[in-house]
Structure 1
Amino acid sequence: MTDALIQPQDIPYLPRGVWLADDKVRGLRVLQAPERAMQLDQIGDAILSELDGNRSMGQICADLAARYNAPVEQIAGDVRDFLTGLVARRMVFLRDPS
């Protein structure tokens, strides 16, 4: 599913062995996986903090748009672009609710 666009009904989640962590030494948030880590900016942290494995991409984007008072279409594009890269790196998985 890495070549397909993430659909609004897809449920993004962090797979087993991938987690968000605080790097207390550097004062950063990081996405960690076995033998790799990715430093997050505030936007990446905000997006990944929403992944609970229950809510769909559409619900997450609507919640972020409301929180940041931004157009849902803009938020959805940014979230989709960010997560597509992580899906390709196998740091985020997608589940179809059906």
Structure 2
Amino acid sequence: MTEAPHIVTEETVLSFARGHRLQHDRVRDLWIIQAPEKAFVIEGAAPHILRLLDGERSVGGIIQQLEEQFSAPREVIVKDVLALLSELTEKNVLHT
């Protein structure tokens, strides 16, 4: 029996899965997600989004903070945030 996919909504509260963490590589000036025996380079808006994950704030709260921080339309921010967090949840980098 397969597990139902986790649907990320504005009410979802996420944190990094065990063994995963966000880290800034100062030498290369890159943001990476450290994971057991691998690392993911993240670019664009992703570091701004992932730095707000704390296991307490909802996705909607993250979107609201990004709205205040950047001058992008809410619908663009919502689309980008939900797409990124859904993809990382499916890859078991993030969990509820």
TM bucket normalised to smaller: 0.7 to 0.9
Q: Between Structure 1 and Structure 2, how many residues are aligned?
A: 94
Aligned to 2:65: 63
Cα shift readout 1:22-80 (whole Å, capped 9, x = no counterpart): 22332211011101211011411101001011110111001101110222221111011
Cα RMSD of the aligned pairs, angstroms, is 1.7
Aligned to 2:77: 75
Is 1:36 matched with 2:38? yes
Identity %: 32
Cα offset for 1:5? 3.4
**What TM-score do the two structures reach when normalised by structure 1?**
0.85
Whether contact under 8 Å (2:6, 2:90) holds in the other structure is no
Task: Point out 4+ residue stretches in structure 1 off by more than 3 angstroms.
Answer: 1-5
Structure 2 residue runs of 5 or longer lacking an equivalent are none
**What TM-score do the two structures reach when normalised by structure 2?**
0.86
Write the distance in 2 (CA, Å) between the matches of 1:8 and 1:88.
16
Cα shift readout 1:1-25 (whole Å, capped 9, x = no counterpart): 8735311111011122111112233
